[in-house]
Amino acid sequence: MYKVINKFMDKDGRVYEVGKPYPAEGKKLTKTRAEFLTKVHPEYDIAFLEFIEEKEEKKEAKTSKNKKTADEKGSDE
């Protein structure tokens, strides 16, 4: 998943605001487009997107929670 770090208008005319996820719901993102938007643009001297690992963080949080619950159960028995 990507997060918008600088406001921009995509090729389809959609404006992406800072802090919002990219791409918009229902839109697909190609690897080439993602690479282009995460690199510093030669004309504007900024990048537009930042890669975020939201899914990995959620998985780790769930794993930690489940592990703690299992440990708590074991100590009570």
Q: Are 17 and 29 in contact (CB under 8 A)?
A: no
Q: Which residue has the higher pLDDT, 54 or 70?
A: 54
**Residue tagged 């939201």 (tokens):** 54
Q: Which two tokens stand for residue 27?
A: 């839109």
75: left (phi over 0), alpha (psi -120 to 50) or beta: alpha
**Distance separating alpha carbons of residues 65 and 50, to the nearest angstrom:** 28
Tens-place pLDDT, residues 9-64: 999 999 999 999 999 999 999 999 999 999 999 999 999 999 998 665 555 555 55
